[in-house]
């Protein structure tokens, strides 16, 4: 059986989307495709074809991802991946991933990023666990602040039209500060963030938009839904905070104050929080936050030189990395990374290596979410020169843990 990977004609896009959905044992209602189709980039959408029959495929979002130092690197956001069960384990996914990374190389995108359905699938293609994601399940009655600070500013519910104007500047204030964030176009805001499609509610009620203002200026927002439960006439409802952003700690505290003050709610939950969730240190009973950790953004370095030279560094130094990249052999080899004044210079070298690692290891440490010491404790990477691991970790250290707040 011969499977060919090729660009999907515009006329076939819905058929392509159905094949990917069916590959993941999901249906694709017409209204869902109608609503999300505008976000698909046809020129970056690939189908797996068995003759003229679509048996799966994948697509790419064109993102700029924040890296340590605040720069935003062009990146391939890998998405909509699926191969029909009838055509798996025949090399189709490998061919698809090869084509997608080739597309990223042609567009000079140093990084490829994705959210993995299963990590084992993508690590073999060089993707490393780059960020962690958290969720909380907090009993509202136990949600009290450690410090009884007086309220500052005010919070109000706004319409979606007001949110379109007020929310993006707040997000843009935060985005350059945290590695792992990606840029949002106006279309992305309208469809992927603010829209309230009924098929997306999944048993919850409508989406609400809350805006906090201080001295007349917006400084925080929250998007949330509620799932109502009145068993035996007692309120047991869940309030799910889908996104909360604030320009500073005070604004974040006040946004949480508003959330905790919503009546007739038993549990406050989140899904895609940061690993260093500030709420843990805000509340009087951190254990009640019930913080859970799982994998977040997976990252693959496509262009080693461009990626390493575009991020910042915390210490001056030099180290030779020997990168084993079985999936993109041309990207592997030895590289000398020299840092000075917060910036880095990278060049290929034949000098003896200080550290041996593979492509997935590089993806795991690139944003600063993990260190070489972390990987060594997991029996990953090899220190070939004594002290090289500590030297490299000092160079790569970041003062802010990376976080990607939204699945794509």
315-338 per-position pLDDT tens digit? 999 999 999 999 999 999 999 999
Q: Report the mean per-residue pLDDT for the chain.
A: 97
| Nearest in space to 144 (alpha carbons), one of 230, 233, 260, 62 | 260
Looking at the structure, tell me whether residues 286 and 139 fall in a common domain: yes
Q: How confident is the model at residue 2 (pLDDT cuts 50, 70, 90)?
A: confident
| Cα distances (Å, whole numbers) of residue 304 to 180, 196, 209, 315 | 17, 40, 41, 19
Looking at the structure, tell me whether residues 289 and 314 fall in a common domain: no
- Over range 73-97, report the average pLDDT: 95
- Over range 168-175, report the average pLDDT: 98
Return the pLDDT at 217: 98
Looking at the structure, tell me whether residues 220 and 87 fall in a common domain: no
Candidates 122, 181, 182, 258; catalytic one: 122
Give how many domains the chain has, as a whole number.
Answer: 3
**Domain finish residue from 57, 92, 109:** 109
Residue 67 domain flag: yes
Query: Are 46 and 7 contacting, i.e. CB atoms less than 8 angstroms apart?
Result: yes
Q: Is 22 among the residues known to form the active site?
A: no
Residue 70 clears pLDDT 80, i.e. is over it: yes
Looking at the structure, tell me whether residues 284 and 308 fall in a common domain: no
Residue 223 domain flag: yes
Looking at the structure, tell me whether residues 277 and 314 fall in a common domain: no
Please name the residues in contact with 236: beta carbons below 8 A apart, sequence gap of 6 or more.
229, 230, 266, 267
Beta pairing class for 265-273 and 292-295: unpaired
Residue 408 domain flag: no
CA–CA separation, 304 vs 289, rounded Å?
39
Looking at the structure, tell me whether residues 183 and 329 fall in a common domain: no
CA–CA separation, 242 vs 221, rounded Å?
11
Return the pLDDT at 310: 98
Residue 262 clears pLDDT 70, i.e. is over it: yes
Residue 187 domain flag: yes
Range of the domain at 323: 304-357+372-396
CA–CA separation, 218 vs 197, rounded Å?
26
Q: How confident is the model at residue 238 (pLDDT cuts 50, 70, 90)?
A: very high
Residue 1 clears pLDDT 70, i.e. is over it: no
- Over range 207-226, report the average pLDDT: 98
Residue 215 domain flag: yes
- Over range 185-206, report the average pLDDT: 96
Instruction: DSSP letter for 214, please.
Output: E
Residue 119 domain flag: no
**Domain finish residue from 274, 293, 312:** 293
Looking at the structure, tell me whether residues 324 and 284 fall in a common domain: no
Residue 405 domain flag: no
Looking at the structure, tell me whether residues 164 and 264 fall in a common domain: yes
Phi, psi of 193 (to 5 degrees): -110, -55
Looking at the structure, tell me whether residues 286 and 310 fall in a common domain: no
Structure tokens at 326: 């079985």
Percentage, residues of the chain above pLDDT 90:
98
Query: Are 335 and 304 contacting, i.e. CB atoms less than 8 angstroms apart?
Result: yes
pLDDT tens digits, residue range 104-124? 999 999 999 999 999 999 999
Residue 253 clears pLDDT 90, i.e. is over it: yes
**Domain finish residue from 245, 261, 293:** 293
pLDDT tens digits, residue range 264-307? 999 999 999 999 999 999 999 999 999 999 999 999 999 999 99
Structure tokens at 377: 């404790």
Q: Which CATH number fits the domain that encloses residue 389?
A: 3.30.1050.10
Residue 261 clears pLDDT 90, i.e. is over it: yes
Residue 144 domain flag: yes
Return the pLDDT at 66: 98
Return the pLDDT at 302: 98
- Over range 182-206, report the average pLDDT: 97
Looking at the structure, tell me whether residues 24 and 160 fall in a common domain: no
Looking at the structure, tell me whether residues 60 and 162 fall in a common domain: no
Q: Which CATH number fits the domain that encloses residue 195?
A: 3.40.630.30
CA–CA separation, 373 vs 284, rounded Å?
33
- Over range 157-162, report the average pLDDT: 98
Looking at the structure, tell me whether residues 147 and 286 fall in a common domain: yes
Q: Is 408 among the residues known to form the active site?
A: yes
pLDDT tens digits, residue range 5-63? 999 999 999 999 999 999 999 999 999 999 999 999 999 999 999 999 999 999 999 99
């Amino acid at each position: 059986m011969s499977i060919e990977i090729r660009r999907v004609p515009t006329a076939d896009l819905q058929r392509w989307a159905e094949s990917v959905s069916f590959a993941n044992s999901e249906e694709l209602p017409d209204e869902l495709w109608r609503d999300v189709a505008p976000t698909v980039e046809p020129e970056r959408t690939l189908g797996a074809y068995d003759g003229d029959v679509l048996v799966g495929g994948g697509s790419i979002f064109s993102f700029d991802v924040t890296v340590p130092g605040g720069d935003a690197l062009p990146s391939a956001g890998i998405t909509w991946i699926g191969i029909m069960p009838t055509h798996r384990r025949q090399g189709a996914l490998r061919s698809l991933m090869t084509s997608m990374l080739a597309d990223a190389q042609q567009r000079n995108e140093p990084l490829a990023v994705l959210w993995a359905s299963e990590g084992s699938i993508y690590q073999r293609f060089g993707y490393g666990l780059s960020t962690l994601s958290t969720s909380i399940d907090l009993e509202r009655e136990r949600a009290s602040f450690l410090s009884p600070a007086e309220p500052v500013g005010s919070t109000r519910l706004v319409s979606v039209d007001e949110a379109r104007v007020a929310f993006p500047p707040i997000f843009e204030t935060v985005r350059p500060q945290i590695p792992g964030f990606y840029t949002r176009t106006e279309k992305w805001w309208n469809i992927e963030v603010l829209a309230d499609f009924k098929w997306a509610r999944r048993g919850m009620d409508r989406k609400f938009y809350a805006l906090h203002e201080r001295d007349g200026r917006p400084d925080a927002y929250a998007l949330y839904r509620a799932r109502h439960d009145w068993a035996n006439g007692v309120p047991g409802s869940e309030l799910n905070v889908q996104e909360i952003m604030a320009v500073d700690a005070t604004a974040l505290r006040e946004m949480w104050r508003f959330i905790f003050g919503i009546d007739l709610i038993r549990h406050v939950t989140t899904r895609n929080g940061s690993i260093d969730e500030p709420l843990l240190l805000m509340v009087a009973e951190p254990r009640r936050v019930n913080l859970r950790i799982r994998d977040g953004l997976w990252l693959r370095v496509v262009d080693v030189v461009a990626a390493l030279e575009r991020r910042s560094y915390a210490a001056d130094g030099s180290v030779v990395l020997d990168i084993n990249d079985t999936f993109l052999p041309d990207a592997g080899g030895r590289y000398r990374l020299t840092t000075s004044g917060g910036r880095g210079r990278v060049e290929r070298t034949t000098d003896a290596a200080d550290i041996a690692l593979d492509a997935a290891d590089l993806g795991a440490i690139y944003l600063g979410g993990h260190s070489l010491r972390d990987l060594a404790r997991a029996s990953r990477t090899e220190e070939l020169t004594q002290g090289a691991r500590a030297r490299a970790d000092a160079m790569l250290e970041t003062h802010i843990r990376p976080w990607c707040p939204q699945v794509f």
